[in-house]
Amino acid sequence: MKSFLKVFFACLLALGITFFLLFVVLVGGVFSSGSSTKATKVEANSILNLTLKGEITDRPYNNPFRNASAMSALSGSFSQEPTIGLMELKNVLKYAKQDDHIKGIYLNIDNLQGHPATMFDLRDALQDFKTSKKFIYAYSNATPELNLMLNTVADKFYINPLGECEFDGFAMQMDYVKGLMDKLGVEYKVFYVGEYKSATEMFRRKDMSPEDRLQRTELLTDISKDYLSNIESATKVPVDSLQYFQNNLMVMDGTDAVKHGLATALKYEDEVKDALKEKLGYKKSDELKMISYNDYKEIVKLKNSKTKDNKIAVVYAEGEINDSKSDDGVIGGEAYIKLLQKLEKDNAVKGIVLRVNSPGGSAFASEQIYHALQRIKAKKPIVVSMGDYAASGGYYISAIADKIIAQPNTITGSIGIFGLIPNIRKALNDKIGVTFDEVKTAEHANFFNLTNNWDDLETAKVQQHVEKGYGVFLDRVAKGRKMDTAAVNKIARGRVWTGQDALKIGLVDELGNLDAAIKEAKSLAKIKDAELVEYPKSKSVMESIVDEFMGKKEDAQSKMMKNLTPQLLYLKQLERIQSLGIYQYRLPFDVKVN
């Protein structure tokens, strides 16, 4: 009987796997056939329905497991939705601007998430759409801070009668784990250069250093200044009044927003659509002609798919830099070097636009990418376009460019280096009773062991290595920016700058977005027209799912989520930092503005 049950359940499992694979193939077929069908036509007198939910990234990521992590599980921020590509969205707005069939935009962005520079860039794109004399009507059930700025661009902004409206300013918070590490008995050896390189502070302090407080305050001040200026421009409410509203929590819901001039009126969604009908001269009984963003972007892709002899390669460098393979939102050193070597040899590619949206990461990988870019620069121009942040390793790989273009609120700089090495000997001794003994053939053979009790010589040697890495960083920047090394050191020391401040001190050449960088690359390549080709190639939804389930990458995140505890959450963060390498050119803090 037992033998029969084993065979039965084995067959059942095999059938289950077979059906799953058939499902993957069938759904893949649906996706592929759907993409090859004729695109939806736009009817005359139509509205573009921009109902956008989820995260905006430079390019869309289709992997539904992309942000499955311990942190997302704890915070409840895990989403299976694909991301919205900023560049793709801006192309749609450009096309809609000159499309005679599109009379206006219906904007609904309740849950749109993005960093400040991205949201400012999108705001400018919406403002540009309005120069066509077409209108934007916005509707919201709930309006977070940055979404409010986008909604105020609209000719009419309506909020649900019970809708919320957040207008309380910006904040950045840092978590410090030194107290936890002390309790666990884990001692971190911390090595860094630059008093502003505050990434290590979470392991060596319990509060913010004066230097970190200064740079964070100045970043938020610049962001808030531009934010309030944009709202003043759209609503005519003076900045002083806006700051008063924030400081006194005077705008908490839709009623407050209307009362203080930040919204037009309170309406339900069906009432907003009735207002759109009236705007376009429809009868009340008529059906409003709306085309969704997803349908319209497919039309735009088909219209813009003309092949040209000359090409400008737009290379997205988005996410942390590591030493191995790339993934959605991760810059894998090995993969990027292969890609850059391919572009170097491609004679059809006349110029490179490197779109950097990275806080940095591995010092070793950053140098290898820099070297590959250096080889390309000998043959064809490179222009860097900086997104939300291009700091530390992100700046390292940018420094080689012929021209660097940043957005006003790009977070950049952070020219510095740090290293982190834990000693868990005491924790294992005291907490769980594990002891150690060893034999060795040389005095320091146990140098980088996680249970090593460091002596002065070992500590000094690592610090020297870190300082050498800092010197290399200064040299790369000095050569790339044609500056004196001492001058670079003065503005380096791990400090971050906004794009507008970086322009003043010579770290960037001008302010602008990706379009400006593409235009500059064409100019440097001495070509008027070129096909834009994006790299790395995007994965389809099915490719991402198959990669997950067919074992192309280990699903360690999801395993951990099943046994999540606060201690594991912090240990996972430590593991992530260690996986990037001991020595890191990395932004001194995670970029999260609340």
CA angle 384–386–392, rounded 5-degree value: 95
Which of the residues are catalytic? 197, 392
Whole-prediction pTM: 0.82
The answer to which of 154-158, 225-229, 305-309, 562-566 has the lowest mean pLDDT is 562-566
Question: What is the model's pLDDT at position 525?
Answer: 96
Of residues 429 and 590, more confidence is placed in 429
Taking residues 36-65, report their average pLDDT.
81
pLDDT interval class at 81 (50, 70, 90): low
Count helices and strands in the chain by DSSP H and E runs:
23, 23
Q: What percentage of the chain exceeds 90 in pLDDT? A: 57
Question: What is the model's pLDDT at position 65?
Answer: 54
The answer to which of 152-166, 288-302, 529-543 has the lowest mean pLDDT is 529-543
Please count the CA atoms within 13 angstroms of the CA of 159 that sit on its side-chain side: 26
Strands (E), 38-177: 46-51, 54-57, 84-85, 102-108, 112-113, 135-143, 156-165
Q: 318: which strand partners?
A: 357
Taking residues 171-184, report their average pLDDT.
87
Question: What is the model's pLDDT at position 432?
Answer: 83
Question: What is the model's pLDDT at position 369?
Answer: 95
Q: State pLDDT tens for residues 201-257.
A: 888 889 999 999 999 999 999 999 999 999 999 999 999 999 999 999 999 999 999
Q: Which pairing describes strands 360-362 and 417-423: parallel, antiparallel, or unpaired? A: unpaired
Residue type, 500: Q
Closest C-alpha among 118, 94, 93 to residue 107:
93
Q: 49: which strand partners?
A: 106, 292
* Neighbouring C-beta atoms of residue 8, cutoff 10 Å: 10
Question: What is the model's pLDDT at position 161?
Answer: 97
Q: State pLDDT tens for residues 396-405.
A: 999 999 999 9
pLDDT interval class at 271 (50, 70, 90): very high
The answer to which of 4-18, 137-151, 276-290 has the lowest mean pLDDT is 4-18
Question: What is the model's pLDDT at position 542?
Answer: 53
Q: Which two tokens stand for residue 532?
A: 């834009």
Q: State pLDDT tens for residues 58-73.
A: 988 876 555 554 444 4
Task: Give the whole-angstrom CA distance, residue 104 versus residue 135.
Answer: 5
Does residue 196 surpass a pLDDT of 80? yes
Taking residues 513-518, report their average pLDDT.
96
Mean pLDDT of the chain: 84
pLDDT interval class at 423 (50, 70, 90): confident
pLDDT interval class at 197 (50, 70, 90): confident
Residue type, 17: I
Of residues 330 and 39, more confidence is placed in 330
3-state DSSP assignment of residue 195: coil
The answer to which of 96-110, 313-327, 343-357, 498-512 has the lowest mean pLDDT is 313-327
Q: Which pairing describes strands 583-586 and 417-423: parallel, antiparallel, or unpaired? A: antiparallel
pLDDT interval class at 93 (50, 70, 90): very high
Taking residues 508-518, report their average pLDDT.
96
Question: What is the model's pLDDT at position 436?
Answer: 82
3-state DSSP assignment of residue 461: helix
Question: What is the model's pLDDT at position 564?
Answer: 44
Q: Which two tokens stand for residue 334?
A: 């090995």
Question: What is the model's pLDDT at position 565?
Answer: 46
Name the most confidently modeled range: 8-12, 207-211, 555-559. Answer: 207-211
Question: What is the model's pLDDT at position 70?
Answer: 44
Does residue 29 surpass a pLDDT of 90? no
Q: State pLDDT tens for residues 441-493.
A: 888 888 878 788 888 898 898 889 889 989 999 999 999 999 999 999 999 99
The residue written with tokens 């289709």 in the block is: 62
DSSP string, 495-527: -EEEHHHHHHHTS-SEE--HHHHHHHHHHHHT-
Question: What is the model's pLDDT at position 426?
Answer: 82
Residue 25 to residues 81, 227, 537, 545: CA-CA distances in angstroms? 21, 47, 21, 11
Task: Give the whole-angstrom CA distance, residue 372 versus residue 356.
Answer: 15
Closest C-alpha among 214, 173, 198 to residue 420:
198
Does residue 582 surpass a pLDDT of 70? no
Q: Which two tokens stand for residue 339?
A: 């890609």
Taking residues 347-363, report their average pLDDT.
94
The CA R_g of the chain, rounded to the nearest whole Å, is 26
Residue type, 183: K
Q: State pLDDT tens for residues 357-394.
A: 999 988 899 999 999 999 999 999 999 999 999 999 99
Does residue 589 surpass a pLDDT of 70? no
Q: State pLDDT tens for residues 104-138.
A: 999 999 889 999 999 999 999 999 999 999 999 99
The residue written with tokens 């942190």 in the block is: 71
Q: Cα(first)–Cα(last) distance of the chain, in Å?
A: 61
What are phi and psi for residue 345, nearest 5 degrees? -85, -10
Task: Give the whole-angstrom CA distance, residue 149 versus residue 401.
Answer: 33
Cβ-contact 299, 40 below 8 angstroms? yes
